[in-house]
Structure 1
Amino acid sequence: MNIGFIGTGNMGTILIEALIESEAVIPSSLTITNRTIGKALNIKKRFPDIRVRERPEEVVTESEAVFICVKPHDIYPLLKRLAPVFTPDQIVITITSPVQVEQLETVVSCQAARVIPSITNRALSGVSLLTFGKSCNAATKEKITGLMEKISIPLEIENGITRVASDIVSCGPAFMSYLIQEFIQAAVEETSVSKEDAILMSKEMLVGLGRLLETELYTLPTLQKKVCVKGGVTGEGIKALENGVQDMFRQMFRNTHLKYEEDIALVKKQFQV
């Protein structure tokens, strides 16, 4: 399948790299462009067989499926511009959460889907979130799901849980990265451990934890019980976490949902849907 990418920022580039590395696609099947064309040309330096085009219209005409990897508020004007170029058998795919597939379908005459990736997909792991429009036929759903299976565990979701699912899957790595950095900094400030050693130990702890969970030997609660011996050191640490972490995460979800509602409102004004 020939695939196009309009937008080669962070997430667009991550998807391109992951799809090539997983051998889900070959570079010569990809056509890409970016508003700053130099970013697309930098990708071509690493994958010479990729086709770079100056105009998004050229990407559409050369592709069966087109990933739109631009900011939410740039999607509507871009689709209005490209609408005459799309044909009914093509697939347009947005990767941004505030834009609904139903909104895409009001502008373009082709099939529409949403794929919300995660930075973890770059390691050919993690989950990707899929939502299909009514325009998508069974063959298209199978193609997109099969493509994302090469780099992730695809999970089909409904609009109602889009934001929380994105918080966990897509934003989650940034949230956890922040917490681990605070974890490391506190260790350095409160003890004599070097930052270098604290980073090494924390990184390997996370890798090991991930592998342990992957084996499904333990659930998260049972893993905690195995480590937390009654009257031990871990229990005292858990008490400190209990004082603030629960409210912290609740506030985090409130903040992301408030911002999401703002983005949804702005997108609705554009699409008038």
Structure 2
Amino acid sequence: MTYGFIGIGNMGRTLIEAFIEAGTCKPSELIIHNRTKNKAEQLAKTYPGLRVASDNRETVRESSVFFLCVKPGEFRNVLQEIRDVTQSDQIAVSITSPVMISDLEAWLSCRIAKIIPSIANRVCAGNSLFVPGTRLTKEDETYLWDLFRTISQPILVDEQHTRVASDLASCSPAFLACLMEKLADAAVEETQLPRETALSLVTQMAHGLGQLLTKGNFTLKSLQEHVAVPGGITREGLNLLNRNTGPVFNELIRLTHAKYENDIQKVQNSLFPKVKNN
């Protein structure tokens, strides 16, 4: 089995490194191409045996499964380049949420899936969002599910929920890291605690929190109740957070969805431009 990767930006590289280091794939089973060739060559040096293709067409021709890891605005050029070399028994996996499966199926003759990874997959944790296309067989779905199960916990998602699921699974590591950093910075500003100490405290806390939620039989709600005793400091802090953070997260979801809808429209305008009448 040969796996192709078109694009090795942050998430493309994350998948490659995760699959290799989890033992899912050998470097020799991977072929990659990137618009900036030097990045691909550097990755090949890191993982001897990994092949660098001369172009996207070679990547597809040599692959049984290939991953489209490019930005929404780059899809038309990539699809134009590869559409006549795809085969009906190949599987194309898009990791780009605003590109609709129906649009990919209109362009390519192969089987299509949309699977959205998370940076947490780099350490074989977190979810991957699995949206099967209409041409996938049950065997294809099982194969892809098992493939991603080696680096994540796959979860089946309806395509209409891709955006909000991505907010929770893929974007939230950055959102929560931002909140943790702001908490640490506030502690430094208010008390002159060394910043290095503050960052270490919140980082180790996050590690422990993950363990409590995955292995310690706690839920998000029960953990809050366990720590926040009536009349205690934590309860006062939770009361403050509950008063102030709710509207922020509602606004956040509205913002990401507005951006998503705009991105979908831009992609579709690119893939299926309207012919202007003279």
Alpha-carbon contact 2:12-2:69 (below 8 Å) kept: yes
- Shift in Å, 1:216: 4.8
- The residue aligned with 1:171 is 171
Q: Distance in 1 between matches of 2:207 and 2:128?
A: 20
Distance apart, 1:272 and its partner CA:
3.3
Deviations 1:92-130 (A, max 9, x none): 111010011111100010101111000000011000001
Aligned to 1:245: 245
Query: How much does 1:156 deviate?
Result: 1.3
CA contact (8 A) 2:3 2:65 kept: yes
The TM-score, its normalising length taken from structure 1, stands at 0.98
Aligned residue for 2:160, secondary structure, equals helix
2:72 corresponding residue in structure 1 = 72
Q: Which amino acid letter does the alignment assign opposite residue 177 of structure 2? A: S
Structure 1: stretches of 5+ with no match in the other structure: none
Structure 1 residue 86 displacement after superposition: 0.4
Q: Which residue of 1 aligns with 2:154?
A: 154
- Unpaired stretches in structure 2, ≥5 consecutive residues: 274-278
Deviations 1:198-222 (A, max 9, x none): 1111111100010011125211111
Paired AA for residue 229 in structure 1: V
User: What corresponds to 2:276 in structure 1?
Assistant: none
Identity of aligned residues (%): 42
Give the deviation of 1:270 after TM superposition. Answer: 2.5
Deviation at 1:271, TM superposition (A): 3.1
Q: What amino acid sits opposite 2:10 in the alignment?
A: N
Aligned-partner Cα distance in 2 for 1:237–1:111: 51
Q: In angstroms, what is the RMSD of aligned CA positions?
A: 1.1
AA aligned opposite 1:43: L
Q: Secondary structure at the match of 1:188?
A: helix
* Local SS of the residue matching 1:160: helix
Listed one character per residue, the Cα deviations across residues 224-271 of structure 1 (whole Å, up to 9, x for unaligned) are 011001111111111221221000100100110000010011112233
Kindly provide the amino acid, as one letter, of the partner of residue 123 in structure 2. A
* Runs ≥4 residues deviating over 4 A: none
Which residue of structure 1 aligns with residue 40 of structure 2?
40
- Aligned runs of 1:209-220 on 2, under 5 Å? 209-220=209-220
SS state of the match for residue 54, structure 1?
Answer: coil
What are the within-5 Å matches in structure 2 for residues 1-273 of structure 1?
1-272=1-272
Q: Secondary structure at the match of 1:84?
A: helix
Q: Are the counterparts in 1 of residues 56 and 81 from structure 2 also a CA contact under 8 Å? A: no
Aligned pair count reads: 273
